[in-house]
Structures are given as structure tokens and as C-alpha cells.
Amino acid sequence: MDQPRVEKRKIEVLTMSAPKSVHAPTNEYSTRLKDWIARHEVSLYFLATFVFSWAVYGCLSLISIENQTVLSRWLLIAAFGPSVTAMLISGIANPATSKPKGLPYVICFALAFVAVGAVEWLDHKWWNHRVDAALIVADLILVSLAALVISGVRFPAQGVRDLLSGLTRWRLGAGWYMLALVLWPAVVLGGNALASSLGLGVPAKPSVPSIPVVPLAIESFFWYLFFGGPLNEEAGWRGFAQTKLQRRFSPLTAGVIIGALWGLWHVPLHLMGVYPMGARGAIIRIFSIPSGVAFAWLFNRTHQSLLPVLVLHAARNTTSLFVSRNYVTTELLYLLLTVCVVFLDKMWRPLKPQPSQADSGS
């Protein structure tokens, strides 16, 4: 037997007799865990979202925070539950790493941190918030979470990039952005007009700082966009849950499921007195169901882009700063519009196959 064959045989014998790597059981366990999470990701997502947010709400209800701005920031940190848990589960289910195109993740995160941090600083300045050490700590966490979601489009894990690819689908036509921006203010004004014609009351106009209304409204819109609900939630409710649920159900059914859970998720804020009417106010959360359907319609109509639903969500919350509303007439009008789009779009039908989430509009 020639020398090369002898050496090859020695290598084979040594390989067969060598003990297995101590890392093999760990790798096998990690694979099984990843597969299990992938099979149950929707249920785990809802559970993790409620645990994350409600745990923070529960802790805040047990302690006394004198600075109300600090309290509001911690409530908003809790509100990042939907987006953060969706990123976590997506990253575990598909952890494949690669170098994404464009800015490196660290640079993207730093730029996002500076941008959203500037919005938070301006909000403190214009709304005369009392800044102290506790608020600075809460701000650092809140701004970091917002930057984490924005920069997720460059995150190394493929699952996170797929989840947030909707943030890069921006070539939709100006009409969709305009619709998302003006829809809710128009519904509120229409609902108030209807309430007045029926002799129903409309609450007094909220008080705002003595700053020109246009720049104040623009600042408030972007503050809400980054911190006040849209970025906190939409990557989870729409980007994750809606996308996955409507693989099994119609967009209508998926929207109803998410709307119901969306409303339930907000209930502790009524019990804590953050939202009006206390425990009785939790009843209005039933209107989150038509909202879930309306958001699902806009999300699917814009090729599952997250940007229009972010704009709609921010416009809803910003409007509440400047225009009071009659809840009954406004929500009934919104329900009527939702029913119309359900029938016009036949949302009870299964959704046609969509392009891969990895396909972006950038």
C-alpha cells in the first residue's frame, strides 16, 4: 500500500475513534428549541407581548413616581412589547446571519439614536417637562428601543430583517400616505359634527403650549411616530401577527383576532387611570376590533408596508392632542367606514400570495 493511502486510513481510524464534541448536545438542543419556537411563534408572540408589557404595567402600579413625565416614559417603554418581542422571536426562528446591504448595523443604530433622541429633547423643551435623573434614565431606554426597531432593517439576523423589511417599502404613491394622514382627523371632525347635530356633548379642546400650532403638530406627530405607539407596536401587530395569521385565516379574521387582543392589551392602562373613565373605560376597547380590521386593510393594500400603518397610528394619537372627540359618534362612524372597506375589498376571502418579505422598495 502506498504512503498516501496509509496516511488517509490513519486519519479515518482516528476520526472514528475520536470522542464526539462536547458541543454536539448543546447544538442539538438549540436546534430543537429553534424549531419549537418556529412552530409556535404566533402563540408565543402574543404571550410574550402581554407578559412584557403587563409586567411593566404591574410594577408601575405598585410604585409611586412623582414626575408624571417619567411615568409616561416607562409606560411607553412597556408599549414596545409588541415590536421588541416580534424581533426577538423572529431572530430566534431565523438566526441566519449575513452582512446586509447599506449602512452597517452599528452606524444605523447610532444615527437612529441621535435622530429620535433629538425629537425627544425637543418634546421636553416645547412641552415644558421637568427633566431630572430619573427622566434621563427612562429616556435613554426609550430612545434605545426606538433606535433598535428602526435600525433592525440592518440587523445581522435574517429573521429580524425580514420582519422589518416593511419599513423599507416606501414607494407606494403619495395618495396612500395622504389617506393614512387625514383619515382619522376627518373621522373625528365628522363624528363631532354628528354629535353636535344630535345634541350630544363634545369634550373641551385640550390645552397645548403657546407655540405655533403647525410646528407643534409636526413635532408631536414625529414624537408619537417614534415613541407614542406606532413604532412601539406596528412591527408586532401588523408586521408579525397579521402577516402570519393571514396565512391560515382571511385578512378579516386575522384583523378581528389582532384587534381583540390589541384592545385587551390596553386594558391595564384604564385600570391604572392612565386612560379616561377608569375601569369602565375599558369597554371602549371593543372598538379596537374594527381598528384592527382597518389597519389590516391598509397594511395589505400597501403591499404589507409598515409605513402607512405607522402614519395612520401616529395621526390618530396626534389628533387627540389637538382635537377632543365624542367617543360614541366617532367610533360608530369609523366602524361604518370599516364595514364599507370590508365589503368593497371582500376581506373575508383568503389573501393572494404576497411577494417575499425580503423584497423591499428601497
Residue 28's Cα: distance from chain center in Å?
Answer: 33
Q: Please state the rounded mean pLDDT for residues 16-20.
A: 48
Flag whether 121 is in a domain: yes
d(CA 16, CA 18): 6
Flag whether 28 is in a domain: no
CA atoms within 13 A on the CB side of 197: 7
Q: Please state the rounded mean pLDDT for residues 225-230.
A: 97
Q: Which band of pLDDT confidence, cut at 50, 70 and 90, is reported for residue 242? A: very high
Examine the pLDDT at 301 and tell me if it is beyond 50.
yes
Proportion of the chain above pLDDT 90, given as a percent? 73
Matching residue, cell 409636526:
218
Q: What is the mean pLDDT of the chain?
A: 89
DSSP label of 97: B
**Sequence-ordered alpha helix ranges (H) in the chain:** 3-17, 24-39, 41-62, 68-78, 81-93, 105-126, 133-151, 158-163, 174-197, 213-227, 230-236, 243-245, 251-271, 288-301, 307-322, 327-345
State pLDDT tens for residues 246-259.
999 999 999 999 99
Give the amino acid at 229: G
pLDDT of residue 111: 97
Which range is least confidently modeled, 51-65, 178-192, 275-289? 275-289
Q: Please state the rounded mean pLDDT for residues 315-330.
A: 93
Say how many domains are in the chain.
1
Q: Which band of pLDDT confidence, cut at 50, 70 and 90, is reported for residue 109? A: very high
Flag whether 273 is in a domain: yes
CB atoms near residue 214 (< 10 Å): 8
Structural domain harbouring 78:
41-345
Q: Which band of pLDDT confidence, cut at 50, 70 and 90, is reported for residue 186? A: very high
pLDDT of residue 33: 75
Q: Please state the rounded mean pLDDT for residues 133-138.
A: 96
Flag whether 14 is in a domain: no
Q: Which band of pLDDT confidence, cut at 50, 70 and 90, is reported for residue 102? A: confident
Q: Give pTM, 2 decimals.
A: 0.88
d(CA 144, CA 356): 29
Flag whether 3 is in a domain: no
CB 203 within 8 A of CB 349: no
Flag whether 270 is in a domain: yes
pLDDT of residue 15: 46
